[in-house]
Amino acid sequence: MDSKADEYQPPSWACEPSLRSCCLKVTKNGSVIDKVRDVSQQICTVFGRNVKLCDVILQHPSISRQHASILHGSSGNMYIIDLGSSHGTFINKKRLDAKRRQVLRDHDKIRFGASTRTYVVVLKDDDWDEQENFESHSRSNGRKRREKDRTRTFDRNDRRSKRQKQEKDLETVRCRHILVKHIESRRPKSWKDMAVTRSKEDAMDMVKDYREQINSREVSFVELAKKESDCNSHSDGGDLGRFGRGKMQKPFEEAAFNLAIDELSYPIETQSGIHLILRTE
């Protein structure tokens, strides 16, 4: 018998989704046969074979009881975690390490076990119907109760806050970044321009465009940093080396420490300008 104790509990960093129009397109033999919109509705969506413990039921015999979960983080990204499945979870044909989160990018292809179905990540679904979204969410009373239960589990994490703070004080990360300065920056000049005159809005648009180029694999982060970053680290591909807490401006620090390894941030605003951050270690 499956008990509440068997149910997967999301980690403390998981939060309400900001990607409200994301979904997974389910394809088989090259044709779209379904969409999974649960991933835009809740903190955590569990995939697996067990009807009592999972949100999305997978029927293939290679699927584990609780196979994998998709979650949302405070950085605005969506992640997938293999829950120690017997036959693995695959992103673009590469098997994931169990129990380690992996950021999901637009058009990533997910496979569970030996199932022939492919789940294609869509971060913004143009066919999204807000009314359908609302009604579907309203009908999911059972899922709402589960979400409340998950929220209660976060309260237990508060009791560990002191220990976690001590661990964070010792934590370091390594990142690359691309900085785009604007006329309101603390020092509106760079190695490229003696006087930066672009507006903050233009700088933000530029960083959003760089992010799209990197996610679509049109260009590498290092190439863009060398060519476009207004920081002196441009010559090293934006590499800032390892740093601990208290070394960077607060918004930059919070974003960097919330990223998973190889995860790309959304645009981050500091007094220096607009940043795009890639955590490397």
Closest C-alpha to 263, from 175, 167, 179 = 175
- Token pair in block for residue 6: 């068997």
* Angle subtended at Cα 103 by Cα 259 and Cα 11, rounded to the nearest 5 degrees: 70
For residues 96 and 89, is the Cβ–Cβ distance under 8 A?
yes
What letter does residue 232 receive in the DSSP assignment? G
Strand partners, 27: 32, 118
196/192 Cα distance (integer angstroms):
9
List Cβ<8 Å contacts ≥24 apart for 31-36: 33/117, 35/125, 36/119
Closest C-alpha to 74, from 134, 162, 11 = 11
87/32 Cα distance (integer angstroms):
24
Strand partners, 112: 89
Query: CA-based Rg of the chain, rounded to a whole angstrom?
Result: 21
Written as one letter, the residue type at 95 is: R
Name the packing angle between helices 200-215 and 221-228 (round to 10°): 150
Enzyme catalytic residues:
177, 231, 249, 272, 275
- For residue 125, the SS3 value is coil
Residue that has been written with the tokens 């492919």 in this structure: 118
